[in-house]
Amino acid sequence: MMAIIIHLFIVAAILLVVARFVPGIEVEGWGAAFVGAIALGLVNAFVRPLIVFFTLPITFLTLGLFLLIVNALMLALAAALVPGIRISSFGSAFVGSLLLTFLNLIVGAILRH
């Protein structure tokens, strides 16, 4: 249970970093970032698998690159669900999802060693 809470705080911190560096993404503070991390986790757990399944032919044709679009859509959906997070455009969501994924991979690699 404690590992989940720590992971949520790490994702919240990463969301705040993404909002700081990506124009068009705004996060009002730690509270909104923490709720955003929960929303992002729930969206990725329940909605993303359905979207990936239904877009499997497109994903196959693009050699998996369409999953980048799916990730951006999931970030935009999570932001739409949380009042303190705003994303102004799909481009911002796309760049934000790339940065979020990259930072999450780095933090995960550091914490596992």
pLDDT, residue 43, reads: 98
The share of the chain scoring above pLDDT 70, in percent, equals: 99
* Gap between the Cα atoms of 4 and 32, Å rounded: 17
pLDDT band, residue 3 (cuts 50/70/90): confident
Residue 113: predicted pLDDT: 67
Tokens of 89: 């455009």
Work out the average pLDDT over 28-50. Answer: 98
| Domains identified in the chain, total number | 1
Domain span at residue 56? 2-112
Dihedral sign computed on CA atoms, order 26, 16, 20, 51: negative
